[in-house]
Structure 1
Amino acid sequence: MREELLDGGGRVVAVYDRRTRMERPYAAELEPVGIEPAALVKLLFAERAGWVFSSTPDLCHAAKAEGGTIVRHGHGYSYDLRTQPVDPGWTAGPLPAGLRFSEFTATLDEIYPAYQLAFPPGHVDHVLDAETERRDFARLLAGEVLGPVLPCSSLVWDGEAVVGVIVVNDREGEPPMFGPWISQVYRDPDPRYRGLGMVLLRRALALGARAGLPAIGLAVTDGNPARRVYEKAGFRHTDESMTVLIPD
């Protein structure tokens, strides 16, 4: 839900998407409206204490200087399905022998083990609060965070185990900052499954193009080696943002 932040005179000085993150109110994609970063930071600290917000690096660095904590530094990417090439054959892989695709029909219990393996301690996206992360994942799959899961989402199975996952949500808004959005893509880190990330990305692009989607976007944490995979797959850098925790 898009909300507004007003100054003392009732003037709109920022707009954002109201969500929840880290079990706190979250002002996502916060955009200043005719106000300098330093002035907006003072207002945020006064009016949104204890919140989390994401915005451009200049605003987030200003917030850090005032005592905020940067909890994520990310980069946005987009693949324009209207202008960039898509091979329809990407829907079929290739997959290593013994593996198979399926539509996104698995439960959270079936896809979560590979998620935990993909982001171990030391990984830039490892989350310490596993209980909260699992709950947030369930909300994502239920369409409560970025919108419903789209049919271009896929799973890769090895026998009865899910070893690769891509989740594409129908995020409200227009590309490249919004629209169809890859909220999760990961694989079991076992060397047998090397390359599945690229296969899943290309399959989602081909299925998305077949369905008439305009583009597919994603965000990646700064320092995540998967960023090279996205660039190799043809995703183009669109923006840079940070997420900041405002002191209580």
Structure 2
Amino acid sequence: MPLHPDADHTILTGTDGTPLARLRLRDDDGTPLADDVRPLPGAPLPLIAAQARRDLAGRRLQTPDDQLALAVVHTGLKLRRAATDMRHDLADLPAMPQLPDGWTLAPAGWDDDLAEGLAAAYRPPHPDGGWTDNDTREVRGMFERGEPVPPLAEASARVVGPDGRSAGHVLCAGPAPWTDDLCAWILNIGVAPHAQGRGLGRALLVHALHGARAAGLPRLGLEVVDGNPARRLYDAAGFHVRTRVLSIDLP
């Protein structure tokens, strides 16, 4: 057998039984994952890449190892996403910034103004790609049915302009069931283009930090894709790098 259970991980082996890499097999909302794939000492990366293509076919491979990801890409596949997993330990929080006149934070929720604003904010060339109808369905499902996870109310909020319309939000969940540590998680944070440049994104982020701590969770996590200018905001707020997340779909 090329895949062998080992405590809370799975070992990928070569055809001769040589251990090659450690990973976790799981599903993410219907997507089968080979998650946190890490080469074992001395295992040749080209051999791991070839074995992964055979034995993990149909899964999304996720690894923190840049060189392994490059080896898999060299088999003829494309890197789907390159991102950084970050955490804040909530021990030393920045003070809540003052909002511009007429702007307020409101309880989290979903409405047409917010959908329109996020669709505009995530237009190309945004590194996360465009906001899709499926994104809207997923967020509405969280608020309407608590699926796939309910929002963490204390850490989520909308920002509302002087006209009373939603112009952005931060949406958090927690504890996050897809991580191996206890933390709240920022699923989405965004501000409509017409409202950007007023410090609203920072206000939403700081609200999420204070809300996660108020909810009794020890950390707040997020994932930021390479090239996203919001990375500067996260660094300034005190988030630290936990690991890289490089994703490749295996046919």
TM-score with structure 1 setting the length = 0.79
Asked if 1:120 corresponds to 2:123, the answer is: yes
Root-mean-square deviation (CA, aligned residues, Å) is 3.0
* Alignment partner of 2:27 out of 19, 37, 43: 19
Any residues of structure 2 matched to 1:119-138 within 5 Å, and which?
119-127=122-130, 130-138=132-140
How far, CA to CA, are the matches of 2:85 and 2:218 in structure 1? Answer: 16
Tell me the secondary structure at the aligned position of residue 15 of structure 1. Answer: strand
Bigger radius of gyration among the two: 2
Shift of 1:182: 1.0
8 Å Cα contact 2:119/2:130 also seen in 1: no
Give the superposition deviation at 1:102: 1.7
Q: Which has the higher contact order (CA 8 A, sep 6+)?
A: 1
| Secondary structure at the counterpart of residue 190 of structure 1 | helix
Structure 1 residue 66: Cα displacement: 0.8
Query: 176, 184, 187: which one pairs with 1:183?
Result: 187
What whole-Å deviation, never above 9, does each CA across 1:114-171 have from its counterpart, x for those lacking one?
A: 211111121111238x2444344456666655x4321211111124421121111211
Q: How does 1:135-146 map to 2 (within 5 A)?
A: 135-138=137-140, 144=147
- Residue 100 of structure 2 aligns with an amino acid whose one-letter code is P
1:14, distance to aligned residue in structure 2 (A): 3.1
- Which 5+ residue runs of structure 1 have no aligned equivalent? none
1:71 counterpart = 2:74:
no
What's the % identity of the aligned pairs? 25
- List gaps (5 residues or longer) in structure 2: 1-7
Structure 1 stretches of 4+ moved >6 Å: none
Say whether the 8 Å CA contact 1:24–1:50 is kept in structure 2.
Answer: no
Name the counterpart of 2:4: none
Shift in CA distance, 160/213, structure 1 to aligned 2, threshold 3 Å: same
Separation in 2, partners of 1:20, 1:135: 16
**Greater Cα offset, 51-60 or 166-175:** 166-175
Query: What is the alpha-carbon distance in structure 2 between the residues aligned to residue 160 and residue 215 of structure 1?
Result: 32
Structure 1 residues 198, 20: closer, same or farther in 2, change over 3 A?
same
Deviations 1:34-67 (A, max 9, x none): 6543333222211232432221222211110111
Residues 57-110 of structure 1 show CA distances to partners (whole Å, capped at 9, x for unaligned) of 22211110111210111112211113xx225x52xx411122221222x13645
Between the aligned partners of 1:28 and 1:162, the Cα distance in structure 2 is 36
User: Does residue 36 of structure 2 align to residue 29 of structure 1?
Assistant: yes
Match of 2:232 among 228, 235, 238: 228
- Partners of 2:37 and 2:139 lie apart in 1 by 23
Instruction: Give the counterpart letter for 1:153 in structure 2.
Output: S
The structure 1 residue matched to 2:165, chosen from 161, 166, 185, is 161
The corresponding residue for 1:81 is 90
Q: SS of the residue aligned with 2:155?
A: coil
Which of 177, 200, 218 is the aligned partner of 1:214? 218
- Residue 104 of structure 2: which of 100, 104, 112 is its match? 100
Maintained 8 Å contact 1:54/1:243: yes
Task: Give the stretch that moved more between structures: 33-42 or 225-234.
Answer: 33-42
Are positions 1:58 and 2:60 aligned together? no
